Amino acid sequence: MLNIVIFGPPGAGKGTQSEKLIEKYNLKHISTGDLFRWHTKNDTELGLRVKEIMDSGELVSDDITIAMLKEEVEKNPEVSGFLFDGFPRTVDQAKALDTLMHSMDTQIQHVVELEVSEEEVKKRIAKRKELEGRADDADDKLVKRIDEYFNKTVHVLPYYKEQSRLSTVNGVGGIEEISKSITDILDK
Ligand code: AMP
């Protein structure tokens, strides 16, 4: 199995690059943000529990997030690999993901960080907001989500770096150019 984490701030291009990777390597894409949005949109019990916290731009608790992720992984026993997007965001989530992968006799081989500055990300999200009108990208929430990333989520990176699983890619540039930088790492 090839299991990858794609890492980066909101608006770094994780979605775009993920689409390319799932096609090229035939991976199952699991985005915890998309899963939470599906639950809130469909008013599931879980959706109702996380709606407020998501609206605030803060992180959902590790317990809830890890349980949802685990369920989604276990629903897909036959896949040739996973691409995790938006997960892990805490060291505890990273450890839980390792435990889950080990229980399946596999592991996370690569964590690919798309490096984009805070300023660039703010510009991009403002543009995406204009185009898509995503509800969670309202300005105040946006600032909060970006803050969460640069103040908290980035602390997951040393965990992977110490284990030589982290690769950092410049996330500013053409889509194809960035995609090639990523596949060069994965194909090495
Ligand atoms: P995203 O689209 O990945 O930015 O996620 C949207 C929102 O879902 C986040 O602002 C969090 O409230 C929640 N969320 C998504 N993934 C996680 C995670 N791994 N841990 C905690 N909360 C998450």
Sheet holding 4-7, edge to edge: 28-31, 82-85, 4-7, 110-115, 166-170
Q: Which amino acid is at 63?
A: D
Q: Give the pLDDT band of residue 21 (cuts 50, 70, 90).
A: very high
The pLDDT tens digits for 52-87 are 999 888 899 999 999 999 999 999 988 999 999 999
CATH of 4-177, one of 2.40.50.140, 3.40.1190.20, 2.60.40.1930, 3.40.50.300: 3.40.50.300
Q: What is the mean pLDDT of residues 34-56?
A: 95
- Ligand 1 pocket, residue 149 CB under 6 Å: no
Measure 86 CA to ligand 1 centroid, in angstroms. 6
Q: Which residue, by CA, sits nearest to atom 19 of ligand 1?
A: 87
Q: Tell me how crowded residue 162 is: count the other CB atoms within 10 A of its CB.
A: 9
In whole angstroms, give the CA distance from residue 164 to residue 172.
23
Query: Which atom of ligand 1 is the closest one to the Cα of 50?
Result: 12
Phi, psi of 5 (to 5 degrees): -115, 130
Query: Which atom of ligand 1 is the closest one to the Cα of 89?
Result: 19
One DSSP character per residue, 48-71 reads: HHHHHHHHHT-PPPHHHHHHHHHH
Measure 33 CA to ligand 1 centroid, in angstroms. 5
Measure 188 CA to ligand 1 centroid, in angstroms. 30
Domain parsing of the chain, residue ranges: 4-177
The pLDDT tens digits for 133-186 are 665 556 667 778 888 999 999 999 999 999 999 999 999 999 999 999 999 999
- Ligand 1 pocket, residue 57 CB under 6 Å: yes
CA 58 → CA 38, 80, 94, 161, distances in Å?
Answer: 17, 32, 18, 25
Query: Which atom of ligand 1 is the closest one to the Cα of 14?
Result: 3
Query: Which atom of ligand 1 is the closest one to the Cα of 144?
Result: 10
Mean pLDDT of the chain: 92
